[in-house]
Chain A
């Protein structure tokens, strides 16, 4: 017995005296790596951006741009349709865009800059500029120069004006575009948008610059004009194909993010219905033969029917509600960052602003309409020729361009459509109800359940709750009806 005890205690003593620094060195997380190459982070950043802009930004924007409205027999998106904007509105999206998308793109930029992988830098810079422009447009002041620097101890970044952000992203795009990208030819599988195709990324960056310049046309015309002129002078190329993520399949967790959220995971899938505003527009313009079937599903009585914007508290039965068309959303739908149609309309407006000939503007405009229909494999030429309702109006070019851009963005880039409405006032806001005999189809009506009085509508969001709670440098609250710098 004593021998057993002796062995046991010897083993125990040996074990216990082996305690040392190396025995304590077990604090490296075995579940997560500390270093990952940027090519494996890029797909996460792209998908993060795609998920934020295609779900709630798109739903809120599409309701504000009056393509969609909340189903009357459920209530998932009531707050958007009612203009009821709070600090928690779109707060999760802010969190994911900053701590996910922008942080990852920043890391990719830093690493590709030091390894001189200029193609990756261009991709990250373009997507970062795209994201930052949206945030600047929606909040008018956002953290930028001090943002994403937690490693340097900056936990509470100060906010910059949108103008500073606009200038900063243009500089970054110019820096990225100034590099020699000719040596980068091998495809990048992790780039869902263009697989690393340099020419397409350059086109995307240039078209994004157009969007950035045109947005500030009213408030800083000289800067905008100079920027656009420079693009035209250097024969910059613009997108002729969609910048999109077309990688989704019908499997849980792998489908289109809007489908995953609104159709697969929510307990009911009938929340997003057609707005009578958009249905009236399409109907009155003889546009109910082809593309409407890609925007909406037929109601239960076989028609394409919309509901009055924001009229979701009417006490109707499930049967009556099902007569209203649902938005058509498929698991395999791509997420569009920028469609070819939008690219043509941006070019058309840019040429128009720089006093190009009517013919040149019309060509670009026509390409835009055709691209919008072509997205569904349809031929839209009958709408822009002869007695077609979308024939370019040479007396009112801006009205044509922005109206068709609005219709082309329906359901895919609702927030962009709404921001352009805020910038240009197109489509107009109507003084009358949609049932009134004087109603002009396509004009925005005052949402029935709006919490803002008639004539008021959102021009921005309020600073997010997650910043208010943790960042003492968050600016004082600004009302949602206060115009932003370019409005």
Chain B
């Protein structure tokens, strides 16, 4: 529906379309046959979703002796859901304007989906504490068992008979039904030893080994240890306490392991469902059922993903605890990252789940807390956090070397991982130029794309920053958070569709009067089709061609407009709260009463080139895929809420 909204021209009032049965706004006469009146969709289409979710947990502890105990924890998250989704019949009257424009009839549909989704986790922990003089040893041995399960039953019909009746019986077609199930199991053994001297030095050593159902059977175990050390200098060297009441240094070296999703090891056949451009051919056909070879090839050599992280941090409190500094530096290397990688179709498959080499993430995190003013009744606190993360693809497996790995894409824009570059560069078409750098246009005066795509930028931020301010006076507290992100680019489909329909401000260039693409030439070709020279371009972008100029299908280098700077400054929240004085609350036999008002996402500033979307929006799932950008995401939400907290 958001797509239908975005395609409405600026001179048509959206709110005046509300009466969608009115003769000017109805299916027959809506201003275009290519989109729907959004109010029709809101009112006539819909869905109903019910979910029952139970999150039980049981903890049992048994103390053997004063230093040895055992505990057992089991927890689950069980969700049962039913979804019913329907689309109304939408047909135009024969002879009406949209019917003459060829608007296709929508025959209506009903989908039903029932799902069961649960996770159960067990931990058995054996704890032992030893005290020897000033040394203390806390020892832990654990056994973890985890199961994740998902099952769905899905059924739909289309081509409904009775208007407004959304039930699987309402069609002359048989319902199409399918099921899907997914199960994953893991068990692990782990050990953790924490040795401390007085309260000054802490040394922790840990080790874990997991066995997973989703790795190849002959190689399904993986091990990952870790170590960390922290030193409380302010206790070790008490003399510094005058200046630095608190100083702690911490160092750590930790490994973590991750297994893949289920069913990636073997190749399978799938029930045949054949691509026919906008159509799909489904079996059975003429009473015959069929299976096709699945498009993803299995990987019998799949390895777990192992991350190694080194971190060093220092925490200081200065000036009578008025200044707090927490600074950390880290270097994380992930090897054998598990990703679904596109394959060349001529190999016979289009995807494979692979371990793709190694990726590094290095950075800093800083948290600064200042209390400039503090009296008995009044205090002002400022918090500042700043982080930098620099990623780099260190190596990819041999086969992926040259072109890099395609992480995600939309139309002509690719999101790739290339060796030596940050993890996530966005590439797209570039102008094809002659040896003098002039833009080459085709016979219609529209720019042509060069063979190789060029890098438009990386998705990585230069830095992120947050500023928090809070002032309190007696019971009144006022505060707010500002967040800043600088650097990086993202793909936005919102820009794409707005260019296409002419709603983007960029399309008003030259007041839409005819113009020649600046500094452009046409190729001169001989009878064989070979380029023998260049001549000045004299074909303007006129009314006949302006749509082709802004459409990045016909003018591929125009795709650059769909990738924008994703920097922003946001007023994340602003709040005022008041805690009623004790003398009032005690009269009501209440312990505390606090009322407040808080606004979220109040203000957003973006660079001039991004007058399209909130850079934090995304529509894709998965951490890495969603870094790419958004695809017709709706506007983000600004909210204001009131709160009342009463403590008895």
Complex: A253 Cα to B273 Cα, angstroms = 9
Determine if B285 and A142 form an interchain contact, defined as CB atoms under 8 angstroms apart. no
Q: Which of B135-156 contact A (CB under 8 A)?
A: 143, 145
Q: Does B185 contact A (CB under 8 A)?
A: yes
- When A27-B263, A51-B274 are in contact, do A41 and B553 touch as well, CB less than 8 Å? no
Q: Does A211 contact B (CB under 8 A)?
A: no
Contact among A48, A265, A322 with B278 in the assembled complex (CB-CB below 8 Å): A265
* Chain B: minimal CB distance from A34 (Å): 5
* Chain B: minimal CB distance from A448 (Å): 10
- When A24-B211, A27-B214, A55-B276 are in contact, do A103 and B349 touch as well, CB less than 8 Å? yes
Complex: A9 Cα to B71 Cα, angstroms = 10
Contact among A24, A94, A268 with B101 in the assembled complex (CB-CB below 8 Å): A268
Cβ of A268: which chain B residues have Cβ within 8 Å of it? 33-34, 101-104
- When A51-B281, A99-B295 are in contact, do A452 and B443 touch as well, CB less than 8 Å? yes
Residue of A33, A100, A107, A192 with highest tally of chain B CB at under 10 A: A100
Total contacts A-B at CB 8 Å:
321
* Chain B: minimal CB distance from A7 (Å): 12
Cβ of B270: which chain A residues have Cβ within 8 Å of it? 32
- When A23-B185, A26-B213 are in contact, do A479 and B406 touch as well, CB less than 8 Å? no
Q: Does B525 contact A (CB under 8 A)?
A: yes
Q: Does A269 contact B (CB under 8 A)?
A: yes
* Chain B: minimal CB distance from A413 (Å): 16
Complex: A150 Cα to B342 Cα, angstroms = 13
Determine if B444 and A451 form an interchain contact, defined as CB atoms under 8 angstroms apart. yes
The closest CB in chain B to the CB of A21 belongs to: B217
* Chain B: minimal CB distance from A370 (Å): 29
Q: Which of A417-466 contact B (CB under 8 A)?
A: 449-456, 459, 464, 466
Determine if B347 and A192 form an interchain contact, defined as CB atoms under 8 angstroms apart. no
- When A86-B449, A252-B158 are in contact, do A47 and B347 touch as well, CB less than 8 Å? no
Q: Does A242 contact B (CB under 8 A)?
A: no
* Chain A: minimal CB distance from B98 (Å): 9
* Chain A: minimal CB distance from B117 (Å): 16
- When A23-B185, A29-B268, A156-B399 are in contact, do A16 and B347 touch as well, CB less than 8 Å? no
Complex: A28 Cα to B267 Cα, angstroms = 10
Complex: A466 Cα to B346 Cα, angstroms = 9
- When A270-B102, A470-B343 are in contact, do A449 and B262 touch as well, CB less than 8 Å? no
Q: Does A472 contact B (CB under 8 A)?
A: yes
Q: Does B401 contact A (CB under 8 A)?
A: yes
Contact among A27, A42, A257, A266 with B281 in the assembled complex (CB-CB below 8 Å): A257
Complex: A15 Cα to B214 Cα, angstroms = 21
The closest CB in chain A to the CB of B342 belongs to: A470
Determine if B544 and A313 form an interchain contact, defined as CB atoms under 8 angstroms apart. yes
* Chain B: minimal CB distance from A33 (Å): 5
Complex: A223 Cα to B288 Cα, angstroms = 41
Q: Which of A55-98 contact B (CB under 8 A)?
A: 55-56, 71, 73-74, 78-79, 82, 84, 86, 88, 92, 94-96, 98
The closest CB in chain B to the CB of A73 belongs to: B101
Contact among A29, A54, A96, A247 with B263 in the assembled complex (CB-CB below 8 Å): A29
Contact among B274, B297, B352, B545 with A100 in the assembled complex (CB-CB below 8 Å): B274
* Chain A: minimal CB distance from B45 (Å): 15
Q: Does A293 contact B (CB under 8 A)?
A: no
Cβ of B545: which chain A residues have Cβ within 8 Å of it? 313
Q: How large is the interface on A (under 10, 10 to 19, 20 to 34, 35 or more residues)?
A: 35 or more
Q: Does A233 contact B (CB under 8 A)?
A: no
Determine if A95 and B293 form an interchain contact, defined as CB atoms under 8 angstroms apart. no
Determine if B346 and A143 form an interchain contact, defined as CB atoms under 8 angstroms apart. yes
Q: Does B287 contact A (CB under 8 A)?
A: yes
Determine if B292 and A247 form an interchain contact, defined as CB atoms under 8 angstroms apart. no
Contact among B262, B285, B412 with A47 in the assembled complex (CB-CB below 8 Å): B285
* Chain B: minimal CB distance from A11 (Å): 11
Cβ of B288: which chain A residues have Cβ within 8 Å of it? 43, 189-190, 192
Determine if A451 and B442 form an interchain contact, defined as CB atoms under 8 angstroms apart. yes
Cβ of B346: which chain A residues have Cβ within 8 Å of it? 98, 142-143, 147-148, 157, 467, 471
Complex: A361 Cα to B443 Cα, angstroms = 43
Determine if B60 and A253 form an interchain contact, defined as CB atoms under 8 angstroms apart. no
Determine if A30 and B444 form an interchain contact, defined as CB atoms under 8 angstroms apart. no
Complex: A47 Cα to B266 Cα, angstroms = 25
Contact among B220, B268, B277, B547 with A55 in the assembled complex (CB-CB below 8 Å): B277
* Chain B: minimal CB distance from A87 (Å): 9
- When A36-B291, A86-B449 are in contact, do A322 and B347 touch as well, CB less than 8 Å? no
Cβ of A315: which chain B residues have Cβ within 8 Å of it? 543-544
Cβ of A192: which chain B residues have Cβ within 8 Å of it? 285-286, 288
Complex: A470 Cα to B417 Cα, angstroms = 12
Q: Does B647 contact A (CB under 8 A)?
A: no
Determine if A51 and B275 form an interchain contact, defined as CB atoms under 8 angstroms apart. yes
Contact among B158, B345, B402 with A472 in the assembled complex (CB-CB below 8 Å): B402
Contact with A along B101-137 (1 / 0, CB 8 A): 1111001000000000000001010000000000000
Complex: A451 Cα to B447 Cα, angstroms = 10
Q: Does B554 contact A (CB under 8 A)?
A: yes
Q: Which of A259-274 contact B (CB under 8 A)?
A: 259-271
Contact with A along B17-39 (1 / 0, CB 8 A): 00000000000000001100000
Determine if B292 and A269 form an interchain contact, defined as CB atoms under 8 angstroms apart. no
- When A157-B344, A270-B101, A451-B444 are in contact, do A31 and B180 touch as well, CB less than 8 Å? yes
Q: Does A186 contact B (CB under 8 A)?
A: no
The closest CB in chain A to the CB of B176 belongs to: A253
Complex: A45 Cα to B554 Cα, angstroms = 33
* Chain A: minimal CB distance from B397 (Å): 10
Determine if B267 and A482 form an interchain contact, defined as CB atoms under 8 angstroms apart. no
Q: Does A5 contact B (CB under 8 A)?
A: yes
Determine if A12 and B74 form an interchain contact, defined as CB atoms under 8 angstroms apart. yes
Residue of B278, B282, B287 with highest tally of chain A CB at under 10 A: B278
Contact with B along A244-263 (1 / 0, CB 8 A): 00011001111101111111
The closest CB in chain A to the CB of B272 belongs to: A44
Q: Does A40 contact B (CB under 8 A)?
A: yes
The closest CB in chain A to the CB of B429 belongs to: A86
* Chain A: minimal CB distance from B538 (Å): 13
Determine if B268 and A79 form an interchain contact, defined as CB atoms under 8 angstroms apart. no
Q: Does B181 contact A (CB under 8 A)?
A: yes
Q: Does A359 contact B (CB under 8 A)?
A: no
Complex: A452 Cα to B553 Cα, angstroms = 16
Contact among B268, B449, B529 with A459 in the assembled complex (CB-CB below 8 Å): B529
Q: Which of A148-169 contact B (CB under 8 A)?
A: 148-151, 154-157
Q: Does A106 contact B (CB under 8 A)?
A: yes
Please report B residues at the A interface, Cβ cutoff 8 Å.
33-34, 60, 72, 74, 97, 100-104, 107, 122, 124, 143, 145, 158-159, 173, 179-181, 183-187, 211-214, 217, 220, 262-263, 265-272, 274-283, 285-295, 297, 341-350, 352, 399, 401-403, 406, 411-412, 414, 442-444, 446, 448-449, 451, 522, 525, 527-530, 543-545, 547-548, 553-554, 556
30 A-B interface contacts by CB (under 8 A): A15-B122, A21-B217, A26-B262, A27-B213, A28-B266, A29-B268, A33-B268, A34-B268, A40-B290, A47-B281, A56-B277, A74-B34, A82-B444, A92-B275, A142-B346, A148-B347, A150-B297, A150-B343, A151-B297, A155-B347, A190-B290, A253-B282, A257-B277, A257-B281, A264-B104, A265-B279, A268-B33, A453-B525, A464-B345, A470-B344
Q: Which 10 A-B pairs have the closest CB atoms?
A: A260-B279, A481-B529, A270-B102, A471-B344, A32-B268, A451-B442, A143-B346, A257-B276, A44-B272, A261-B279
Task: Name 14 extra pairs, CB < 8 A, besides A100-B295, A318-B100, A482-B529.
Answer: A24-B185, A24-B186, A32-B271, A43-B283, A43-B289, A79-B554, A96-B274, A150-B348, A157-B344, A257-B279, A268-B101, A452-B443, A454-B443, A477-B451
Please report A residues at the B interface, Cβ cutoff 8 Å.
5, 8-9, 12, 15-16, 19, 21, 23-36, 40-45, 47-48, 51-52, 54-56, 71, 73-74, 78-79, 82, 84, 86, 88, 92, 94-96, 98-100, 102-104, 106-107, 142-143, 147-151, 154-157, 189-190, 192, 247-248, 251-255, 257-271, 313-315, 318-319, 322, 449-456, 459, 464, 466-472, 474, 477, 479, 481-483
